[in-house]
Amino acid sequence: MLDTHARKYVQPSIEKTASFLLRRGRTPNQITILALIVGLSTSLLYLSGYPIIGVIVLWISGFLDAVDGTMARHTKSSPFGTVMDVTFDRIVEVAMIVAIAYLHPEVMWPLLLLSVSIIISMTVFLVVGAVSEKAGIKSFYYQAGAAERSEGFIFFSIMLLFPNFLLWSTLLFFAVELFTGIQRFIEAKRILQ
Q: Assess whether pLDDT exceeds 80 at residue 172.
A: yes
Report, at the CATH architecture level, how domain 2-192 is classified: Up-down Bundle (1.20)
User: Can you give the pLDDT at residue 139?
Assistant: 56
Average pLDDT, stretch 40-62? Answer: 98
| Number of neighbouring beta carbons within 10 Å of residue 78 | 14
Q: Assess whether pLDDT exceeds 80 at residue 5.
A: no
Classified as helix, coil or strand, 104 is: coil
Classified as helix, coil or strand, 28 is: helix
Classified as helix, coil or strand, 48 is: coil
Question: Cα angle vertex 185, ends 189, 108, to 5°?
Answer: 165
Average pLDDT, stretch 8-15? Answer: 91
Average pLDDT, stretch 33-53? Answer: 98
Cα separation, 192 vs 155, in Å, equals 31
Determine what percent of the chain is predicted with pLDDT higher than 70. 92
User: Can you give the pLDDT at residue 132?
Assistant: 78
Cα separation, 96 vs 61, in Å, equals 13
**Where along the chain do its domains lie?**
2-192
Q: What is the pTM of this model?
A: 0.90
Nearest to 37 by CA among 18, 69, 61: 61
